Structure 1
Amino acid sequence: MGAIKDGTISGTLPEAKVFAVHYPGYPSSTSRAVETLGGPEAITKVRSSQSNCLELRFRPEDPYSHPAFGELHRCSGFLLKISKKKFSADQNAVASSIMSKCLSKDATSSVPVPCDSESKEVEERNLPEIESTSSNKDKEVQMHKKMLINLYVDIVARVSEAYQFNGMVDYQHVLAVHGDVARRKRRWVEVEPRFEKGGLIDIDLEDLMMLVPPIFSPKNIPEKLVLRPSGLLSSKKKQEAVVQNRWEMDIEPCIAIDFNIEEIPRKVNWEEHIPQGSAHWEWQTVLAKLFDERPIWHKHTLNQRLLEEGLHFGAHQLKRLLFRIAYYFATGPFRLFWIRKGYDPRKDSESRIYQTIDFRVPPPLRSFGNIDTTNELKDRWKEICAFQVFPSKNQTSFQVFDLVDDYIQEEIRKPIEQTTCT
């Protein structure tokens, strides 16, 4: 046993190990807490099995009680036995010297030295003095003021594991079986005389229909939810990064819009705002002709065509030119493909040939020799669409129309089965 001084204790660490249960409540007694955990047999069974889950039922007598589950976690703690002893002020110094003497002997010896005999002598010398002053009230109060309380601690065992209940137990379903049956009987006594003998409902009044509610929540552990922002807001933010001229600020959102939007972006008369004969006029004219040739473009295919025309744009510059005459969906079968403004592929059955298809490189082929990450994807886009080389990315989106394959082209040219795209 060691005395607590300045918030610290000293003693010998025991070899015994125990586990703790962080009980999520205030039980009426220890026996009730053990009962809600299934009793000693259930706890022993959990400890001997490989399962690290301890079940807790707040009402073990009710089979419909919603259980809580405690998971086993490693911890480093000690089980302490704390006791207190009273000493008078003049005897406190003697007790302190005895304890320090015992601790010094314990430090030099591997076997703990018992100090009970010496501490008992101090108690025997102290207690009679306290009892002798009981006759005089003033002296008794004065003596109590001089008394000091010392705390002693025994390290009983090590706490190496603990069960923690981190799940949600904020609800409990209580069946009507716990209600007062007598009150229901009194109600029926008042109602039955109005009917013929036997009553309208010939059932046992004590029989109750026990309907267990559906699961309240599919999750036991609370999780943080990250709500997806509105597609319109994200579209506006992306467009603000592209806009540079005042007239471009009036263009409606056309970048990463929702596929279920009612009206698509309208056509913009860019000819009224760009000086004719300027470089921007020539670039915009080339893009407009490409979208007249084909209403939907994959960005890599579009880059390839612009290179054939002798034009090379950076990513930001190309997006600025495109958002004046085109838009793209964030989701759907045409996601991330640039679509000519004023054209709605959802209402045109011919647009099915421009839909997207994803290709994922199998894991065994991801380190294949033909994959050269030093070359840009757009420089080899034709070879990739012709299945001559592997894509440099593990997942790539293609436009069905761009794939050079006889079977694919034959399939997309088959007769139309539905007139709209949903």
Structure 2
Amino acid sequence: MSRQINFNAEEEYERIEYPGRVENTDRMIATLGGISNISKVLGDEKKRLELRFHPDNPYNKPAFGDSIANTGVLLSISVRRHKKDKTRPPQYTVRVLGYCSRSFTFETLCDFQYLPLYSTPRSDDANAAEEIKYALEQVLPRNAADLDYFKREETPLIALPELFARVDTVYGHTYRFDRSEDGQHEVLGLVTKSTYDPRDAVYFNMVDAFPTDPDTEVVKRLKIKYVSDEQYARVKKLFDECPIWTRYALLYESDVSHDKLKCIIPSLAFYFNNGPWRAMYVRFGYDPRKDFKSRYYQTFDFRLRFGFGVSEFVYSRRQRQAAAGAEEEQSNDLVQDINYPYFDEHKLPRSRQCVLRYCDVHLQKIQDMLEKIPTPLTGAICNERTGWLPPNFDSLAREIVCATISEILRNHYRKEHLASEVAAEAVPQAEGEEYDGEDEELIEEDMEVDEDELQTSSATENFTDKNIEQLLSNITS
């Protein structure tokens, strides 16, 4: 027989799952910091509950309990048995004392606990067993006025780690061995998520053959992603015309969305992770190591210093994309569009870092330098680091691009300076206003300029030019 008393909805409790068998409630509360500390944690939704196994020992790092939102009820069950008649069934009384909506659990990792334990012999006998003693009072002074602690000649040694664990949660990582040929540098490394499919990425070297056909799984992916024949044909036509492309150039020329292009490119080309054609997509079956014309498609990595002056016009790609929906700025006429994959002579680059092909740099000096490279002998192959280009060719190309950017900025600042001077000197004439004779005399007097004023004006122009030159050298150096 059982009996149930009604539920009391006004009583709310907090549950703490203590990781241990409690024999003394007071000592258990002391390990949690006392009633005051428990009340502070319960009053804040973000605080963690500290559990110190030795509250008086400052050398222990606490274990932390996290709050979890769950639902539960607190039951009180009492059993009444008949003392004389053992055959009678017991009577159960169930009372619902209240409910709880949050609980604290200690499921995180616990760091090592360092205790001031020292072994002392039980007797003067050398073979006697040693006794382990907990001597915290010998390591710490009792209070600030404990002068006896500082007068001790011998103090027990306690060796603590320089740094405790920074996290107490478990993270699931996938580890791999670094496959080196000699086996001397086999270290564990994390497998990071790559932007590119590993089946399409190829490491450049002078020995291995490059892929000639796409993976079968990539071809199946075209049907799953609903890529139309027209979109596939547009990208294929571009690779037929030119064997090597950048991703931004394919997006610009094909007018295919980024999601569709990610499925089409692996079926037509592979990707170089390193080498002279780094970050380029190369058509299957094409070997740039054997074709001298592939020098036009080598990687030109240009990075602009993000210093004072240039930040007014050129942003990082992430900042430009974030501000794509904002109003157009006046500097858009001076800077190339963020999706434009080429570098023109009369505009600033689209972002701080531009990865282009050399044929995408529309500067006549650089194109003439590419044409003047002597043709190698028949059967020659490129260099593993510089490709078909001579050493320091990329440095010369960067100097030319920096000089072009300096000239663009120099002309822009000079135009702004002249426009500001004209705007300051120009005085608009009111409608219907007539000049009298006195005004004509004033005009004639103003036109008589002293030589001192001319020297002051020329000095001001020279000072302005020096400031512009110093600014440009800081940007492009």
Compute the TM-score of the two structures, normalised by the length of structure 1: 0.48
Structure with more of its chain in helix, by fraction = 1
Larger Rg: 1
Compute the TM-score of the two structures, normalised by the length of structure 2: 0.44
Point out which structure has higher relative CO (alpha carbons under 8 A, 6+ apart): 1
